[in-house]
Structure 1
Amino acid sequence: MPKLLPAPFLAAALAFSPILAQADTEVSFYGGYQTAPHSVVSGNDPEATWSGEFTAAWEGKSTAMPPYYGLRATRWRSDNWGWGGEFTHAKVYADDTTLIDNGYDRFEFTDGLNIITVNAMRRWPGKWGDKFTPYVGAGIGFAMPHVDIQAAEGAHTFGYQVTGPAVRALAGVRYEVNDRWATFTEYQGTYSMNKVDLENGGSIETNVITNALNVGISYSF
């Protein structure tokens, strides 16, 4: 029996399909270094040791399997303006102190904290010469993390959930290699609101910010 694609890939493919059907399209793939600041977790987990709320200290572990990466498709409507879709496989792991202090064996979104958005893009060709093009973008969409949460000897919550709205912002510079290929580097930040249903009947909520420095490659057609 063929293996099914993970849900975030299917959602991203549906978002990108009307973009890829048109000309003047740029497809970009990137990896990089991603982190996340602390966030407050609230709600109820009857098998953990905390009550009310606690602060989770997050680690990104960008190169650990599965790694941090992203895919973006942009339809340029003019020399300066475009729109498109983007999928980012970000990750957050609660650090060891957070796990021990709150009674967890696992508390992470690591396959991943998937962010899917529709973007508006702005670029300035020719501003920095023939080869370098600065650009910015912003998007709105939703989070579909792979939830991996387990209190010590408790029920294991493990699977994809649509957990709430998400936004992203990015700014970078593109270097044109030839008419089809380019490389780029950029800063990208995301903000997602995540409400998670637990296998033990509880639920938790946390709003996660990610910050990333990306390096990638683009193909235009």
Structure 2
Amino acid sequence: MMKITNTAAAALVLMAGQASAELELSFYLGAQSVQESSISGTLPGGTSVSRNVDWEGQPFESPFYYGGRAIWWTQSNFGFGIEGTHTKAYAPDADRAALGVDRLEFSDGHNILTANVMKRWPGAFKQERFTPYVGGGVGIAIPHVDIQVTGASSRTFGYEVTGPALRGLAGLKYNLNEKWALFGEYQITWSDNEVTVDPAAGQSAGKLDVELVTHAVNVGISYSF
């Protein structure tokens, strides 16, 4: 009888913890930049390339930079969920010319998808409306690759799964009421990308390797239930 009672009590505690948990959906826009990084590999046909590229983010040009996440907050104020960010990276004219390409961009998203772990501190400033938080995630990069070699008739234009990705973030949320909140945050993403460049007839495919690091200041809105 004692075992049954203890099991029931444990189940009630678990159910109470689950009942007090909270699902938070967030959406944000922001200003995003990309660090300079080295790109190397071969173009279709075997031409070797290597150069430092001074990437541009262009967050306010269509398609805009944006992101969203879903986080399940536990009673201990740890959160678990997923996040997707539509970052962007464009190679400037000088870098494209030096590499021998007319187009080199991840412009319909250098999309970063991660599984996140987060921590928040409600009432940290003795003010119930403000909640600081931090988080990190591990996942993959799924960019829309747009590359065209100078003089080539073929063009690489499509989504590729290019490698692993990491995310870090820190922010502050302002609760408007029990459901809605505004927030501001800093985010950094890193990805290691191996990109396939489609060949013309009779050529071998090209392969380019590049690490991309983005920095962003985001503002957004969240809804909890």
Matched with 1:186 is 185
Deviation at 1:47, TM superposition (A): 6.3
Q: Is 1:87 aligned to 2:91, yes or no?
A: no
- Amino-acid identity (%): 50
Q: Take 2:197 and 2:58, find their aligned partners in 1: how far apart are those partners? A: 24
Q: Take 1:44 and 1:101, find their aligned partners in 2: how far apart are those partners? A: 14
What does residue range 70-219 of structure 1 map to in structure 2 within 5 Å?
A: 70-128=67-125, 129-154=127-152, 155-200=154-199, 201-219=205-223
Q: Which runs of 5+ in 1 are unaligned?
A: 1-21
Which is greater in Rg? 2
How high is the TM-score relative to the length of structure 2?
A: 0.85
SS in structure 1 opposite 2:108?
strand
Q: Take 1:25 and 1:80, find their aligned partners in 2: how far apart are those partners? A: 12
Asked whether the equivalents of residues 47 and 151 of structure 1 are also in contact (C-alpha less than 8 Å), the reply is no
Asked whether the equivalents of residues 79 and 125 of structure 1 are also in contact (C-alpha less than 8 Å), the reply is no
Aligned length: 199
Deviation at 1:118, TM superposition (A): 0.2
Matched with 2:25 is 27
SS in structure 2 opposite 1:144?
strand
Q: Take 1:46 and 1:26, find their aligned partners in 2: how far apart are those partners? A: 46
Asked whether the equivalents of residues 119 and 134 of structure 2 are also in contact (C-alpha less than 8 Å), the reply is yes
Q: Take 1:78 and 1:92, find their aligned partners in 2: how far apart are those partners? A: 39
What does residue range 46-65 of structure 1 map to in structure 2 within 5 Å?
A: 46=44, 51-65=48-62
Q: Take 1:121 and 1:95, find their aligned partners in 2: how far apart are those partners? A: 36
Deviation at 1:161, TM superposition (A): 0.4
Deviation at 1:141, TM superposition (A): 0.3
Q: Take 2:194 and 2:175, find their aligned partners in 1: how far apart are those partners? A: 41
Q: Take 1:26 and 1:212, find their aligned partners in 2: how far apart are those partners? A: 21
Deviation at 1:42, TM superposition (A): 1.2
Deviation at 1:46, TM superposition (A): 3.7
Q: Which runs of 5+ in 2 are unaligned?
A: 1-19, 200-204
Asked whether the equivalents of residues 79 and 123 of structure 1 are also in contact (C-alpha less than 8 Å), the reply is no
SS in structure 1 opposite 2:167?
strand
Letter in 1 for 2:217: L
Q: Take 2:34 and 2:109, find their aligned partners in 1: how far apart are those partners? A: 13
SS in structure 1 opposite 2:103?
strand
SS in structure 1 opposite 2:48?
coil
Q: CA RMSD in A?
A: 1.5
Asked whether the equivalents of residues 26 and 221 of structure 2 are also in contact (C-alpha less than 8 Å), the reply is yes
Q: Take 2:212 and 2:22, find their aligned partners in 1: how far apart are those partners? A: 34
